[in-house]
Amino acid sequence: MLFEKNADARRPPASTTKIMTSILLLENTNPTDVLTASPRAAATGGSSLNLKAGERITAHDMLYALMLRSANDGCVVVAEKVAGSEPKFAGMMTAKAHEIGAVNTHFGNCNGLNENPNVTTARDLSIMARYAFRFPEFNDAVHSKFYNIARAKENKDTLLRNHAKFLWHFPGADGVKTGFTNPAGHCFVGAATWNGWRLVSVVLHSPDIVRETSELMKYGFQQFETHKVVAPGQSFGTAKVEGGAVPSVPVTSQAAIKVITRRGVEPVVELRPKIGPVGAPVLAGTPVGTLEAWEDGKVVGTTKLVAAESVNRAVGVAVVGGAGRGGWYFLGAVAGTVVVGYGRTFAKTARIRRYRLKALLRDADNGRPGIG
């Protein structure tokens, strides 16, 4: 958190609510799933797609409708598709928010309207936005200025225009969501990327969401910088391999870890690898632990530790005999097949193999050399 003011004050979020609605849409549907508008959804007021009862729209297009048009009616369609009803869906939204760390948030509805009002904080909205960025589809939607959705031929309302004026006014802007109601005022969760790193900002009940968001972004990008403290593929020792052809496997970091400091300040970071044993076979890239970067007593970055190469299971060959008549006797497991060898050649038929094995065991019972 680079700057905060009243970050934990609980306030109504208006349509920034739709960030969480979109998260549950992405986690509970496939892009090609078809959602059908109920009469209740079609009757929802405010910003909308003007859906007709029975109208069908794909989950993919609905995501764009939520984030660009801020479609209140579309939110109800999503709620009924995922949970069966809006109250049940609001419960899912609250549970998901708490699961990802947005613990001061409570949702009573799916779209941010004043009925059964929602409450959240600026910090919690930043947590929800950062979580939503895990989905490529979400990133594609929130930085799109325009998008055409597919609807019934008689419906000409297919062009969506993003309500976020910030996208037009700030270089590198790539999201996220506007909101407005009388109790909430003007709200905006913003995002921008400069030189390969991204900042998220939240302003609630703002007198000028574009100006205040731009000032926050410029402050962040101008006053702070990133440092790569771990590179992808960096070596971090070995992991024990249980039952492997070799006893251990080299371990490397899966992704980079970057930390942020004020400009000109070098980070003081402690890297703490946690590596556990892994059972064979092991494929290259298999997670074998985690790597944490600690600074000032807290975790500032993590990545998985993975096996740098593949390891096969051990192949056992147990010597169970000594030199007897005709040579050495051994019993070995090779690729799952039991092979019995006698002397310098293998028996050529199953009958001969059985005969010789019985003779070998009989000799052992009589105290003759052959099996030690």
Sequence spans of domains, the chain: 14-225, 231-307, 317-365
Residue type at 210 in one-letter notation:
V
Taking Cα atoms as reference points, which of 183, 184, 190 lies closest to residue 210? 190
Neighbours of 136 (CB within 10 A): 9
Neighbours of 149 (CB within 10 A): 20
Between 367 and 234, name the one with better pLDDT. 234
Residue 104 has a pLDDT of 98
Q: Which CATH number, 2.60.410.10, 3.40.640.10, 3.30.310.10, 2.40.170.20, labels domain 231-307? A: 2.60.410.10
Residue type at 193 in one-letter notation:
T
Report strand pairing: 146-148 vs 159-161: antiparallel
Mean pLDDT of the 140-161 span = 93
The gap from C-alpha 191 to its chain's centroid, in whole angstroms, comes to: 19
Instruction: Specify the range with the lowest mean pLDDT, choosing from 2-6, 150-154, 266-270.
Output: 150-154
pLDDT tens digits for 242-268?
999 999 999 999 999 999 999 999 999
Taking Cα atoms as reference points, which of 161, 160, 147, 167 lies closest to residue 209? 167
The values of phi and psi at residue 188, to 5°, are: -155, 130
Residue 366 has pLDDT above 60, yes or no: no
* Class of the CATH domain delimited by 14-225: alpha beta
Helices (H), 50-135: 59-64, 72-83, 86-99, 122-132
**Tokens 């802007």 appear where?**
173
Mean pLDDT of the 281-308 span = 96
pLDDT tens digits for 32-53?
999 999 999 999 999 999 999 9
Residue type at 257 in one-letter notation:
I
Q: Measure the CA–CA gap between 117 and 11, rounded to whole angstroms.
A: 10
Residue type at 70 in one-letter notation:
S
The values of phi and psi at residue 60, to 5°, are: -60, -50
Q: Which two tokens stand for residue 21?
A: 């609605």
Taking Cα atoms as reference points, which of 169, 181, 54 lies closest to residue 116? 181
152: confidence class by pLDDT, cuts 50, 70, 90: confident
> What is this structure's pTM?
0.79
Report strand pairing: 278-279 vs 235-242: parallel
pLDDT tens digits for 93-108?
999 999 999 999 999 9
CB distance 239 to 278 below 8 Å: yes
User: In the chain, which ranges are E strands?
Assistant: 34-36, 56-58, 146-148, 159-161, 173-181, 185-194, 197-203, 224-230, 235-242, 248-253, 257-262, 270-275, 278-279, 287-295, 298-307, 317-318, 323-324, 327-334, 337-342
Residue 27 has a pLDDT of 98
The gap from C-alpha 129 to its chain's centroid, in whole angstroms, comes to: 13
Residue 357 parent element (H or E): helix 350-365
